[in-house]
Amino acid sequence: MTFLEYVKWTVLLPGQWWFLGWLWLPALVIATLALKSGINGFEQLLKKSVALILVFYLCRAWLSETNINLILPLVLILVSMNTLDRRALAALWVLPLIFSFFNTSLAQLFFPGMPGLMDRFLKWSVEFSTARYAIRTVVVAVWLLAGWWIVRQCFKKVSVFLLSSGNPFPSRDA
């Protein structure tokens, strides 16, 4: 949608592209079938949950950057268990934050208490709209790459040690 808005200056999909709004459905079905059935422990539950939620988010035509907050705790737990790369956690909060700045979402937060400040932010965003859309497009491309990389990491097998010990939180010494 960011690319479309940059190219066509509209937030509406062209009539013949209506099917892109349903892309998340077959993607979610394929991801569900690709995940092995059964859950062998807490780590696998978290990984499958993060993977399916991200597939849903990454295949939607529109996503509010604040929705990412729903998976941040899951990813934080996976990172603290050394199951997921720390860069995944950084990407999940830094990229949406950058996007929200160039999407004027942050400016809208000032409306109730500081409508004048919000008005200045919005005027600035109109003044630099071409650069703002170009930067947003780059951030979205990086977000898609990072998101699919995280999904791929979540599809990796759970370590044999965790499955045999039954302890989802092994000590660092083990």
C-alpha to C-alpha distance for 136 and 142, rounded to whole angstroms: 10
Question: What per-residue confidence (pLDDT) applies to 119?
Answer: 80
Q: What is the pLDDT of residues 109-132, one digit of tens each?
A: 666 777 787 788 878 878 887 888
Structural domain includes residue 59: yes
Domain assignment of residue 25, yes or no: no
pTM of the model: 0.73
Looking at the structure of the chain, the number of domains it has is 1
* Two structure tokens written together for 145: 């790459």
The dihedral through the CA atoms of 50, 65, 101, 103 has a sign that is: positive
| Per-residue pLDDT at 171 exceeds 80 | no
21 belongs to a structural domain: no
The pLDDT of residue 163: 42
Residue 92 lies in a domain: yes
Domain range for 91 is 2-6+42-164
What lies within 8 Å, CB to CB, of 54 at 6+ separation is: 71, 147, 150, 151, 154
The C-alpha atoms of residue 130 and residue 115 are separated, in whole angstroms, by 24
Specify if 75 maps to a domain.
Answer: yes
pLDDT tens digit string along 58-71? 888 666 777 888 89
- Closest to 32 in 3D by CA, of 49, 15, 7: 49
Average pLDDT over residues 89-106: 84
Range with the largest mean pLDDT of 12-16, 18-22, 30-34: 30-34
Assess if residue 17 is contained within a domain.
no
Please give the Cα distance from 54 to 1 (Å, whole number). 17
Within-domain flag for 150: yes
Please report whether residue 170 resides in a domain: no
